[in-house]
Amino acid sequence: MLVLGIETSCDETSAALVDGTGILSNIITTQDVHQKYGGVVPEFASRAHMRQLLTVIGAALQEAQRALTDIEALAVTRGPGLAGSLLVGLSVCKGIALALKKPWIGINHIEGHILATAETSDTACHPYICLVASGGHTLLVHVKKPLQYKIVGRTIDDAAGEAFDKVAKILGLGYPGGPRVEQSAKGGNPSAISFPRALMESDSLDFSFSGLKTAVLYHVQNLNPEVAEQQTPHIAAGFQQAVVDVLIEKSLRALRRFNCRHLVLAGGVVRNTPLRTAFQQTCRRHDITLSMPAPELCTDNAAMIARAGRMRLLRGQVSSLSLDAMPNLSL
Ligand code: KG4
Ligand code: ZN
């Protein structure tokens, strides 16, 4: 089944073609317009999607060497996300589906992240625990059977990616924060400054990152401005280590609690190289099977939406034209 995926939930305009479990193309354009504001401006985001989406779909078809009429089904993000941005993707998807007389399905963006790796399409990898660490969410999800999700842990305040973005701002590293903190941390010692790890009592599967962010802020405010700049890589490395330690500890706990031997990582924060290495080492030590999306499939992209759509469409699910965007859709 050749599926066209469309993702416009935030500031990435993306279209992808997926055939079976293979990705034929996955075009992602990032909107530079938000950089000077230090965060995503919703109105600019929807306008940029309007300008770019048809071109991005054309590029996805061209790269996959397929024609629009080859498409057998469509999948689009219906939420959670920015209302105006979601509506652009949803309207274009409905228009193409109507013109081609093909089935289509609205997909939960978080489910897209969970199903970004090819392994998750396979019933053999169930049951598994998925750690979703993105800019908007930090969740531990128990996936007993395909497409059945039970949230067993979540952040009580900031998401992990949000903490990276806020700490980047505090350290004057700019936007987007995650990659910049990672870059700065390369020159630092992760043990030089010890930042707090929250909610570590043994029965908790929840996360809290706002205290960690505040600890970084107080540390920076108390520094002599002359040494502050030299300390930045150590602060970035200490912060990054604290996030990674907590994510690993809670994932192991969830695996134990729900008797799972398979861990799936998902979301933009999983692009972080020290995090990927630390999870690989830990899972090897504990004899846990680990699945991680390729870096470009961690951050927002349409291939993950097409993959999730394919799984649902193959089970006979379709959406109707009355389906609306849901900015606060939960998993
Ligand atoms: O999944 P995603 O693309 O969007 C949401 O659904 O939220 O995740 C974006 C988040 C941002 O907060 C960004 O700072 C973070 O992922 N991120 C990273 C890295 N690359 C992106 N965080 C840490 N290290 C990175 N290399
Ligand atoms: Zn996302």
Average pLDDT over residues 155-164: 97
In a domain, 318, yes or no: no
Query: Mean pLDDT, to the nearest integer, of 150-165?
Result: 97
Question: Cα–Cα distance between 252 and 152 in angstroms, integer?
Answer: 13
Output 164 or 201, whichever has higher pLDDT: 164
Rounded (10°) angle between helices 160-170 and 225-257: 170
Q: Quick one: 153 and 231 in the same domain?
A: yes
Q: Is the CB of 300 under 6 A from ligand 1?
A: yes
The answer to whether residues 108 and 19 belong to one domain is: yes
Cβ–Cβ < 8 Å for 155, 173: no
Task: Look at the pTM and tell me if it is higher than 0.85.
Answer: yes
Does 153 share its domain with 111? no
Q: What is the mean pLDDT of residues 286-304?
A: 97
Mutation pick for ligand 1 pocket among 164, 304, 305 (CB with most ligand atoms within 8 Å): 164
Provide the pLDDT confidence category of residue 122 given band limits of 50, 70 and 90: confident
Torsion of CA 46, 50, 55, 58, to 10 degrees: 90
Q: How confident is the model at residue 244 (pLDDT cuts 50, 70, 90)?
A: very high
Residue range 64-92: average pLDDT?
98
Q: What is the domain-level CATH number for residue 167?
A: 3.30.420.40
Query: Does residue 170 share a domain with residue 28?
Result: no
Partners of 106 in the β-ladder: 76
Domain assignment present for 329: no
Residue 181 counted as domain residue:
yes
**Domain membership flag for residue 320:** no
Question: Does residue 271 line the site of ligand 1, with CB under 6 A?
Answer: yes
> Reading across the β-sheet that carries 2-7, which strands appear in turn?
22-30, 12-19, 2-7, 73-79, 104-108
Q: Which domain holds residue 136?
A: 128-292
Q: Phi and psi (nearest 5°) for 13?
A: -95, 120
Q: Which two tokens stand for residue 328?
A: 């606060």
| Same domain, yes or no: 48 and 191 | no
Using 50, 70 and 90 to split pLDDT, how confident is the model at 226?
confident
Task: Tell me the C-alpha distance between 84 and 79, whole Å.
Answer: 11
Report whether residue 272 contacts ligand 1, using a CB cutoff of 6 Å.
yes
What ranges make up the beta strands (E) of 274-327?
289-291
Q: 134 with 221, same domain?
A: yes
Q: Is 328 domain-assigned?
A: no
Ligand 1 pocket mutation, candidates 246, 269, 271, 276, criterion most atoms within 8 A of CB = 269
Quick check: is 325 in a domain?
no
Q: 82 and 160, same structural domain?
A: no
Task: Determine what percent of the chain falls in helix, strand and coil, rounding each to the nearest 5.
Answer: 50, 20, 30
How far apart, in whole angstroms, are the C-alpha atoms of residue 11 and residue 197? 30
Of 306, 265, 307, nearest to 5 by C-alpha is 306
* 134 CA distance to ligand 1 middle (Å): 5
pLDDT > 70 fraction of the chain, expressed in percent and rounded: 100
Tell me, yes or no, whether 30 lies in a domain: yes
**Is the pLDDT assigned to residue 112 strictly greater than 90?**
yes
**Strand extents, DSSP E, 189-325:** 262-266, 289-291
**Total number of domains constituting the chain:** 2
Ligand with the closest atom to the CA of 138 = 1
In sequence order, what are the residues at sequence separation of 6 or more whose Cβ sits closer than 8 angstroms to the Cβ of residue 311?
115, 121, 146, 147
CA distance 4 to 15: 7
The verdict on 110 and 222 lying in the same domain is: no
Atom of ligand 1 nearest to the CA of 12: 3
